[in-house]
Amino acid sequence: MTLCSNGFDAEQTVANGNKFLIGNGKFGYRGTLDEMGREHCVGLNIAGLYDGVRGKWRETVNAFNPLYLKLFAGDVPLNAWSDRVVAHSQTLDISCGVFSRKTLFRIDGGTLQLRSERFCSMANTSVLASRLELVADVDVTVDIVAGIDVDVWELNGPHFASVTLRDEGDALFAEGITQEKGVSVKVSCAFSRQPVFEDGFARFRVCLKAGQTYTLDRIANILIGDEQPICNSTYDAEYRQNAESWRRLWDKSDVILAGSGVDEAQFALRYSIYQLLTLAPKRDCSIAARGLSGQTYKGAVFWDTEMFLLPFYLKTDPISAKRLVEYRIRTLDGALDKAKSYGYKGAFFAWESQDGYDACSDFNVTDVFTHRPVRTYFKDKQIHISADVALGILRYYDQTQDAPLMLNGGLTTLLQIAEFYYSYSYYDHVGGRFELLDVIGPDEYHERVNNNAYTNYMVYHCVKRTLELFGSFGESYPSATKEILSRFEPNICAALADWVGKLYLPKCNEQGVMEQFDGYFDLEDVTVSEVRKRLVHPREYWGGTTGVATPTRVIKQADVVMLAVTLPQYFTAEQIAANYEFYLPYTEHGSSLSASAYALAACRVGRPDDAWKWFLQTARIDLDGGGKQWAGDVYIGGTHPAANGGAWMVATQGFGKMCKPDFLREVKTFF
């Protein structure tokens, strides 16, 4: 289970940083090379640690790089982009999360090979370990300069108000204090050989004999706040513990595709699972939209977590699944404050959550022509986020029957979400129904629409299930349930039951197609390719008030199709097929979330060839370097955890349920 790349291509540095990423749920280390620095987007990204610099977007913090290295043969620097390179390769062993590289250099009279490997320990999650090996075919003197690079790559920094660097014994130590909250981030690096410290670096002079192998190990600790380091550890011991931890993870999560010609798909699926395993939170935090690949999207938590990631952890890692649900319960106060700031009751969850704070800007896109920020309404109008959160809690309870969690915040969160929608809705006196107006659905190209089908159905379903749960918990835990209800207005459940019974739910037309939102069918009927021809600039934003897609039926991603695969009980099989066929030509797939939704729909309507195509697209997105890298002038590159989760969902919930003996004949999962 190894990903390989041969040769060095400087233009692939950023893409390889994503593709060869290692991580352990606490931090991620980009797949860059030992000799690279901030200009190469080296990143050691810490999960759930945020900092804001005045006037800039708040984002997760990249820590100091403890594995920085320079190599010299005589006075000649040896690095991957020098003309001394004879051969270069790098690999990622996804069975144990180990990244390695081999570079062969031409030196005077012969060659010198550099081999290095590293891993973020799954056993001791503060540890980042590395081994360096040098071997030459001639006698040569090599100088190694290793250290902690405090020149951090950042999108919206600098995030450290102060930085101190010192050496002691056989180790280097760096500490930074974050600007906003004064959180300490300590990075240490201990060496297996005694260095000479000079100018903040550890220096080693190696008189290498022909055929002799020189080994240098580095054990780094990444510590947040008051965390304590792992002491007296060796590389070999850490390697064994890490490998055993990964073995246990794969035993619980591997999915086997049985059939001829599935090797490529098998690896892509396992690579997706690998990415999900590296993201399982080890602290009280959730998972960012770009995982641990950097600071894109401000390191914030989106609806991706509930809709595309939680299903995997519910089946394979209940502890992580609980952490994800508890994150939303813990950040309820932020959702209450957000709703109140807009004049509503209940819980309006953050579109871009940083510990409950909504980091979403009012100006998320920059116009590529004027370079001025464009007002967007993601933060204000994507109210479906609260229903997505509610569905996550409901799914967690259905899977685990964790009554204590529900009594200690789960039920309260669900009822606060229901109250938000009750408060937000508009009563149409003519139609005698409640409506949800001025919203954005999953399709972000069309802002401020009325009665988005996905939103209305999700709200209806989650509120109905919430009321059912209060009924059952009232019978099983009467006193606790009564205490929860005492925090709300009297008869809140009866009021919500009356309201949700009158909530408008769009219906499919005679052709079986559900209108995405009021007036969608009246928009210009053009295909994606036709709209693409209207672009003046390749990075032009398609949505907003002036986007090329706004007046047309062209949509960013699965919307009604997303609804159909999320809540299929509200559709017939024929209706799912009709919506799949209708919306497919209009879907630009400008989001990495889209392909898996279409794959699931294709599975449900018995279209295995389509499902296979969409599955490979979502499973291979990081292997192929797919997905948009820019939204206007804003960089949005990085890994795609939601696509990884979507690939797993397609394999287990799509292919695994297809009655097609000539297709994937076996999907084995450790359920």
As a whole number of angstroms, the distance between CA 25 and CA 22 comes to 10
Question: Helix, strand, or coil here: 255?
Answer: strand
Q: How many whole angstroms separate alpha carbon 499 and alpha carbon 192?
A: 68
Which residues fall within 8 angstroms of residue 597, CB to CB, at 6 or more apart?
A: 557, 558, 561, 562, 565, 646
Give CA–CA dist 662/549, Å, rounded.
40
Partners of 373 in the beta sheet?
366
Contacts 24+ apart (CB under 8 A), 562-567: 562/442, 562/454, 562/593, 562/597, 563/453, 563/454, 563/457, 563/458, 563/514, 564/601, 564/604, 565/597, 565/600, 565/601, 565/604, 566/307, 566/391, 566/458, 567/457, 567/458, 567/461
With CA atoms as reference, report the closest residue to 342 among 391, 382, 392: 382
Angle between helices 594-604 and 573-583 (to 10 degrees): 140
Torsion of CA 309, 311, 312, 314, to 10 degrees: 120
Which residues have C-beta within 8 Å of that of residue 450, sequence separation ≥ 6?
A: 435, 436, 437, 438, 439, 517, 518, 519
Q: Is 11 in a helix, a strand, or coil?
A: helix
**Of 527, 526, 525, 550, the residue nearest 540 (C-alpha):** 550
Q: Where are the alpha helices (DSSP H) in 425-540?
A: 453-476, 478-485, 492-500, 528-532
What is 33-88 written as a DSSP string? -TT--GGGT--EEEEEEEE--TTS--EEEEEPEEEEEEEEETTEEE-TTSTTEEEE
Query: Which of helix, strand or coil describes residue 116?
Result: strand
Assign 557 to helix, strand or coil: coil
Q: Are 584 and 598 in contact (CB under 8 A)?
A: yes
Active site residues: 444
Q: What is the spatial distance between Cα 6 and Cα 359, in angstroms, rounded to a whole number?
A: 40
Contact status, residue 106 vs residue 92, Cβ threshold 8 Å:
no
Q: Side-chain half-sphere of 149: how many Cα atoms within 13 Å?
A: 22
Contact 66, 187 (CB under 8 A): yes
Q: How buried is residue 227: exposed, middle or buried, by Cβ count under 10 Å (0-12/13-18/19+)?
A: middle
Answer for the pair 352, 358: CB distance below 8 angstroms, yes or no: yes
For 606, the token pair is 């018995």
What phi, psi does 166 have (nearest 5°)? -150, 165
DSSP 311-354: HHHHHH-HHHHHHHHHHHHHTHHHHHHHHHHTT--S----SSEE
